[in-house]
C-alpha cells in the first residue's frame, strides 16, 4: 500500500518535476536509432556474430518443428546471401561457411525425411541453394576485381595527368625566359638594321618569337587551371567588361564590331583570366573573318538557376562539321593557312571550367560561328536588360563604341589578331 501511495503521490506531483525525464524517455528510441545510424556500416565481427545467432535460432526451429522447416531453412540461406553482400570473404572461408550451412540444413531436412514427415526430394534443395549462393559469390568476386582494376587505373590516370601538368608548367617556365631574352635582342637588332631584306628577316624572327612566347604563356595557363589557387575571384560586371573588350579590339582589327544584348549582371570571377579567355575568342573570330564580316559580343543572364552566357558570334568562314568535336583540343589549328597557336580555344575551355562553367560552339561553314561561354549565375536577382542593348547580327554597328585613345594597351592576343586582321578567311578555328 505504501508503494501504491508513493506512486500515486509521485503521479500527483507538479508536472514540471518529471517533464524532463519524460521527454528523455520519449527520445530514447530516436537517440538509439541515431546512434546506430552513426556507427553504420557495422563492424564485420558484429555482422558475423549476428548472422551466426540468427542462423542458430532458425536451425533449432528446423529440428524442433517437424512440418515447418521450409521457412527457417530459407531464412538461413537468404541471411547468408545478405551477409555476403555486406562483406566479401576470401575463397577458403567462403567454402568453409558454405559447407557448414549445407551440412546443418541437410541434417535438419534429413531428420524430417527419417521421421517420414517430408519426402526425400526435399534434400535436393540444399545443393540447389548452394549453387545459387556460389553463383552470387562468383559475381561478387568479379565485381570486386573489376572495381579494383578501375581504382588502380583511375589512380594511374591521376598520376599521369599530374605528371603531364607538372611537365607543362616546368617547360613553359623554362621556355619563357630565353624566349623573352631572344625577343628583346631581336627587337634591338631590328632598330639597327637599315637594309630592306634584313629588316624583313628580323621581323619574321620577332613574329615567330612572339608566337612562341604566347604558346609558352598559354601552356602555363592551361596547365595551372586545375590548381586550387588558379582563380582570384572578385565581382566582375560582365557588361562593362564586354564594352572594354570592344574598345580595345576595335582599333586592332578592321571588322564590323557590334554589341548584342547586354544584361547588367555581376558575377564572381577572376577578371584577368576571364579577359584572357574572351580575348582568345575574339582573336579566333578575327582570324577567321574578313573586313566586311561582323563580330558581335553579347551577355545574356537568363532566368534564375540558369547560367550566364557570354556569346561571341561572327559571320566568318565557319567550321566544318567534322572538326567541331576537335575544336577545343590542344594544337588544333584546322588547316595550314591558320597561324594560330592551337591553344586559344583550349585556354577558353580551361578558364570556363575553372569557373564552374563551360564553352560550346555552333557553326556552319560559310555562315559563321557562335561561341558561348557559360558562367554560374549569381545567387539572387532577376535579369536586368541594358538600355542600349542591340540584338541581331544584321543590325547596326555599336553606336557607343569608340577607339579607346589613351586607354590600356591591347593584350598579346589582340596584338596577334591585329597582325592577322587583313588575312584571308580560313576554314577552321
Peptide bond into 232 cis (omega under 30): no
Angle made by CA atoms 425, 426, 427, in degrees to the nearest 5: 125
CA 273 – CA 352 distance, rounded (Å): 9
State the cell numbers at 205: 624572327
Range 35-44, long-range pairs (CB < 8 A, 24+ positions) = 41/86, 44/87
Those residues whose C-beta lies under 8 Å from the C-beta of residue 147, and which sit 6 or more positions away, are none
Of residues 261 and 196, which shows the higher confidence score?
261
Q: What is the band of 40 on the pLDDT scale with cuts at 50, 70, 90? A: very low
Give the β-pairing of 368-375 and 358-364.
antiparallel
For residue range 90-102, list pLDDT tens digits in order: 888 888 988 889 9
Whole-angstrom CA distances from 346 to 81, 342, 417 are 51, 8, 17
For residue range 359-385, list pLDDT tens digits in order: 999 999 989 999 999 999 875 544 443
Whole-angstrom CA distances from 301 to 78, 167, 262 are 56, 38, 9
Residue 274: CB atoms within 10 Å? 24
Those residues whose C-beta lies under 8 Å from the C-beta of residue 275, and which sit 6 or more positions away, are 241, 245, 411
370 and 313 in contact (C-beta within 8 Å)? yes
When pLDDT is averaged across residues 164-171 and rounded to a whole number, the result is 72
CA 405 – CA 328 distance, rounded (Å): 34
Of residues 353 and 123, which shows the higher confidence score?
353
Of residues 294 and 196, which shows the higher confidence score?
294
385 and 391 in contact (C-beta within 8 Å)? no
pLDDT of res. 340: 56
Q: Please spell the DSSP secondary structure of 45-74, one letter per residue.
A: HHHHHHHHHHHHHHHHHHHH-TT--HHHHH
- Within 321-421, where are the H helices? 344-354, 412-419
Of residues 284 and 169, which shows the higher confidence score?
284
How far is Cα of residue 65 from the mean position of the Cα atoms in its chain?
A: 59
Tell me the CATH number of domain 234-402+410-419, given options 3.40.50.2000, 1.10.3720.10, 3.30.565.10, 1.10.580.10: 3.30.565.10
Angle made by CA atoms 64, 65, 70, in degrees to the nearest 5: 120
When pLDDT is averaged across residues 332-348 and rounded to a whole number, the result is 67
CA 55 – CA 141 distance, rounded (Å): 24
When pLDDT is averaged across residues 340-361 and rounded to a whole number, the result is 87
Q: In the predicted model, is pLDDT for residue 233 greater than 60? A: yes
CA 87 – CA 50 distance, rounded (Å): 14
State the cell numbers at 126: 540444399
Angle made by CA atoms 317, 320, 321, in degrees to the nearest 5: 140
Of residues 169 and 63, which shows the higher confidence score?
63
Those residues whose C-beta lies under 8 Å from the C-beta of residue 214, and which sit 6 or more positions away, are 341, 343, 412, 413, 416
Q: In this structure, what is the dihedral angle of CA atoms 327, 332, 336, 340, given to the nearest 10 degrees?
A: 90
Q: In the predicted model, is pLDDT for residue 422 greater than 50? A: no
Grouping H, G, I as helix, E, B as strand and the rest as coil, residue 238 is: helix
- What order of strands is seen across the sheet that includes strand 368-375? 256-262, 294-300, 308-314, 368-375, 358-364
Those residues whose C-beta lies under 8 Å from the C-beta of residue 418, and which sit 6 or more positions away, are 252, 253, 410
Of residues 396 and 274, which shows the higher confidence score?
274
| pLDDT, mean over the chain | 74
Return the minimum-mean-pLDDT range out of 215-229, 289-303, 378-392: 378-392
Q: What is the chain's alpha carbon radius of gyration, rounded to the nearest angstrom?
A: 37
Q: In the predicted model, is pLDDT for residue 21 greater than 90? A: no
Of residues 414 and 288, which shows the higher confidence score?
288
Please choose, from the candidates 350, 361, 358, 347, the residue with its C-alpha nearest in 3D space to the C-alpha of residue 288: 361
Amino acid at each position: 500500500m505504501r508503494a501504491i501511495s508513493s506512486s500515486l503521490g509521485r503521479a500527483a506531483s507538479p508536472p514540471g518535476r518529471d517533464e524532463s525525464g519524460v521527454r528523455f524517455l520519449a527520445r530514447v528510441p530516436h537517440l538509439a536509432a541515431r546512434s546506430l545510424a552513426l556507427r553504420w556500416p557495422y563492424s564485420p565481427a558484429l555482422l558475423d556474430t549476428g548472422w551466426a545467432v540468427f542462423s542458430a535460432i532458425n536451425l533449432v526451429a528446423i529440428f524442433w518443428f517437424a512440418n515447418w522447416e521450409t521457412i527457417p531453412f530459407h531464412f538461413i540461406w537468404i541471411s547468408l546471401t545478405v551477409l555476403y553482400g555486406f562483406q566479401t570473404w576470401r575463397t577458403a572461408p567462403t567454402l568453409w561457411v558454405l559447407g557448414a550451412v549445407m551440412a546443418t540444413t541437410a541434417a535438419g531436412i534429413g531428420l524430417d525425411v527419417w521421421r517420414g514427415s517430408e519426402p526425400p526430394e526435399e534434400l535436393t534443395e540444399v545443393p540447389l541453394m548452394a549453387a545459387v549462393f556460389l553463383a552470387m559469390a562468383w559475381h561478387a568476386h568479379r565485381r570486386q576485381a573489376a572495381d579494383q582494376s578501375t581504382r588502380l587505373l583511375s589512380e594511374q590516370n591521376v598520376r599521369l595527368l599530374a605528371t603531364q601538368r607538372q611537365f607543362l608548367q616546368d617547360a613553359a617556365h623554362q621556355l619563357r625566359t630565353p624566349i623573352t631574352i631572344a625577343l628583346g635582342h631581336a627587337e634591338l637588332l631590328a632598330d639597327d638594321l637599315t637594309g630592306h631584306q634584313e629588316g624583313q628577316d628580323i621581323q619574321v624572327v620577332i613574329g615567330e618569337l612572339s608566337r612562341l612566347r604566347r604558346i609558352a604563356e598559354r601552356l602555363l595557363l592551361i596547365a595551372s587551371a586545375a590548381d586550387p589557387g588558379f582563380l582570384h575571384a572578385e565581382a566582375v560586371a560582365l557588361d562593362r567588361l564586354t564594352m572594354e573588350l570592344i574598345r580595345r579590339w576595335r582599333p586592332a582589327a578592321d571588322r564590323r564590331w557590334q554589341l548584342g544584348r547586354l544584361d547588367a549582371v555581376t558575377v564572381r570571377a577572376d577578371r584577368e583570366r576571364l579577359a584572357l579567355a574572351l580575348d582568345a575568342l575574339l582573336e579566333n573570330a578575327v582570324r577567321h573573318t574578313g573586313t566586311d564580316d561582323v563580330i558581335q559580343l553579347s551577355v545574356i543572364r537568363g532566368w534564375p538557376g540558369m547560367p550566364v552566357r557570354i556569346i561571341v558570334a561572327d559571320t566568318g568562314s565557319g567550321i566544318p562539321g567534322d572538326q567541331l568535336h576537335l575544336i577545343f583540343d590542344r594544337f588544333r589549328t584546322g588547316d595550314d593557312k591558320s597561324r594560330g597557336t592551337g591553344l586559344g580555344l583550349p585556354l577558353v575551355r580551361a578558364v570556363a571550367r575553372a569557373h564552374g562553367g563551360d564553352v560550346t560552339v555552333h557553326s556552319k561553314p560559310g555562315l559563321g560561328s557562335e561561341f558561348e561561354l557559360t558562367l554560374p549565375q549569381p545567387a539572387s536577382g532577376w535579369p536586368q536588360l541594358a538600355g542600349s542593348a542591340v540584338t541581331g547580327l544584321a543590325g547596326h554597328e555599336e553606336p557607343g563604341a569608340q577607339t579607346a585613345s589613351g586607354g590600356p594597351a591591347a593584350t598579346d592576343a589582340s596584338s596577334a589578331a591585329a597582325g592577322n586582321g587583313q588575312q584571308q578567311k580560313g576554314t577552321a578555328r
